Amino acid sequence: MSLLENKTQRFHSLRVPLANRWSYCKYTIGSKLRNWIGGIWLILFVCSAISLVLDILDLVSGSIWYRVGYVTTFLLSCLLKLVDTAKSYDDHFTHQEAIENFYKDIAPPDKEWEALDLDMGGGKTERVFRCKNIDRWLRGTDKIGLERDRAAEKGLKDFIRQHERWQEVFAPFLRDMHRNAIYSGKQFYNETKYGISQELKLGRPVQIHKTCYFDSYLTNISPGHRLLRNRDDAVLVELPSRKGAGWCPYEAVIENGKKIYRLKSLGRYTMANEPGVTTLCIREDLQSIFLWTQNRLALCSTGRLVASGSGSANWEDCKDCFDNPDGLREAVINGMKRELWEESVGKRSLSDEDFYAHLDTRITGYFRWLTKAGKSEFVGVSRLHDNGKKSIAEYLEAESSEVLDGEDDEKNIPAQNMWVLRKELNKRLNKIKIKAGTAHTGFGAGEHTYSVSCSMAMLALQEVCQAHCEKHCKKCQKESCNHVPFKALFEE
């Protein structure tokens, strides 16, 4: 974030279109210059600019016939360029649609993972995958290191910037989203991110690579979509086809004589995979968890109830964590705290440093989001202390460029004691139902419209609370429970 945005949000609406355009131009020009064809293009452009200046000088001092010839040649070249542009001009006006059933019936990566189908309302479901062993590892006290995978960085750049693939596939998708964002006022600018390169393995450092948001959009969000021409709905690009695309997030396998589609493990296909970071925050003053509503200009989860802080990890979150034996936890928690401050101190009336000084955060779970090409997501829980002079909660205000105040009856989850919190989480999540005869688990949020990351954060928090109660309470005291989540969830 810029210095201006750190201090005030007064000019944020003006910053968005400028940042959108600057990010797009910088990324697309950079893509052209990353191969030999782009280098030739740059040389020709410079030579043409120099020739133009010399031609203008000659035009002023040259003979009348030279001037006539120059103007005629210039007009003919413009005409030819115009005719060539007209042939494909309509191809620049496009819209996207999801490929029907592209992500239907995709199985988990292996037997240690389970699939959860989240009811998003309106007949729509979102499938996510989680591994309980990884959740226990992240909730525990074992150190989890961080290592930079530079080979993955190079592989991702080469994959996206390969000339033919860039021109025919990625550039049209990026151009379409950029124009849509400019028209609708959405935030679609590039930021430096880190991505997870390999599947998380217990007892081993996590491999990460440096990437950016546009890389993530093209390799995580765009797969499973097609680009259509506005004029006649002709399909211009499909990304990718189910028929053998080597960069598809899943693959066909034969198990027990039956063909199924199974999500690939991280590292076996190319994607930016910048992790999501989501946290539910408990206020000390009200002993409750507050939620926001995603505004209509967001690219994801529009109109849904979202966690107190939710977004994607930045490179700044991890760049100083490589020498830390517990670098992965530090990086993820840095991202959760940053997103919480960005979305919950809307007027920037409290600095991020002062806010973090009154904040504790822990990781509660991890999952992979299928319709984002199996992207990694971390969820957690935070607690916000008062400072003794003025309640920190008095600074809380929705960052209106991203989130809005939630509905009164849903925006707060009571957390006076463990029994109340578990009851309230159960009310929102309903009960997990295992469908007999299948490997998949269904989980519904009922009539509530929570985002995917908020739903998974509530589910993980429910399990952490359950584990605490099983460990410390021989018999549930229900309303008389004296275990306060604000303290109990952070004692260990």
Q: Is the pLDDT of residue 32 over 70?
A: no
Write the pLDDT tens digit of every residue in 331-366.
999 999 999 999 999 888 889 999 999 999 999 999
Question: What per-residue confidence (pLDDT) applies to 31?
Answer: 66
Query: Using an 8 Å Cβ cutoff, are 381 and 269 in contact?
Result: no
CA 159 – CA 85 distance, rounded (Å): 28
Query: Using an 8 Å Cβ cutoff, are 404 and 398 in contact?
Result: yes
Structure-model confidence comparison of residues 265 and 80, the more confident one: 265
User: Which helix (H) or strand (E) element contains residue 87?
Assistant: helix 64-88
Residue 322 bridge partners (DSSP): none
Query: Residue type at 389?
Result: K
User: φ, ψ for residue 32 (rounded to 5)?
Assistant: -65, -35
Write the pLDDT tens digit of every residue in 53-87.
666 666 666 667 666 666 777 677 777 777 766 76
Q: Is the pLDDT of residue 388 over 70?
A: no
Residue 303 pLDDT level (bands cut at 50, 70, 90): confident
Q: What is the pTM of this model?
A: 0.87
Report residue 383 CA to chain centroid gap: 24
Write the pLDDT tens digit of every residue in 147-193.
999 999 999 999 998 888 898 899 999 999 999 998 888 889 899 99
CB-based contacts of 44, cutoff 8 Å, min separation 6: none
Ranges of beta strands (E only) in 352-400 are: 359-369, 375-384
Query: Using an 8 Å Cβ cutoff, are 298 and 330 in contact?
Result: no
For the chain, what's the residue count?
Answer: 492
CB-based contacts of 5, cutoff 8 Å, min separation 6: 12, 15
Write the pLDDT tens digit of every residue in 279-291.
999 999 889 999 9
Cα separations (Å) of 6 from 113, 333, 341, 350?
A: 40, 20, 10, 10
Question: What per-residue confidence (pLDDT) applies to 438?
Answer: 45
Question: What per-residue confidence (pLDDT) applies to 122?
Answer: 73
Mean model confidence pLDDT for the chain:
85
Cα end-to-end distance, the chain, whole Å: 34
Using the structure block, give the residue that is written with the tokens 């944020």.
Answer: 12
Residue 196 pLDDT level (bands cut at 50, 70, 90): very high
Query: Using an 8 Å Cβ cutoff, are 377 and 278 in contact?
Result: yes
Q: Is the pLDDT of residue 1 over 70?
A: no
CA 151 – CA 418 distance, rounded (Å): 46
